[in-house]
Structure 1
Amino acid sequence: MRFPSKEQIAALRERYPRGTRVELLGMDDPQAPPKGTMGEILRVDDAGQLLVRWETGSSLSLIPGVDSFRIMQKGGRS
Structure 2
Amino acid sequence: MNFDRNKVEMVKRRYPVGTRIRLNSLCNVERDMPAGLCGTVIGVDDQPSLLMKWDNGRSLSLMPFEDDFAVIGQEMDVETGQQEQSL
Instruction: Give the TM-score range, shorter chain.
Output: 0.7 to 0.9
Structure 2 unmatched ranges of 5 or more: 76-83
State the identity %: 32
Structure 1 unmatched ranges of 5 or more: none
Cα RMSD over matched residues?
Answer: 1.6
Q: How many pairs does the alignment contain? A: 75
For the 8 Å contact 1:32–1:60, the answer to whether it is kept is no
Structure 1 residues 31-53: Cα deviation after superposition (integer angstroms, max 9, x where no partner): 35111000000001011000111
Amino acid in structure 2 at the alignment position of 1:56: N
Whichever of the two has the greater Rg, that structure is: 2
| Cα distance between partner residues in 2 of 1:69 and 1:32 | 16
Instruction: Output the TM-score relative to the length of structure 2.
Output: 0.78
Greater relative CO, 1 or 2 (CA 8 Å, sep 6+): 1
**What is the aligned partner in structure 1 of residue 10 from structure 2?**
11
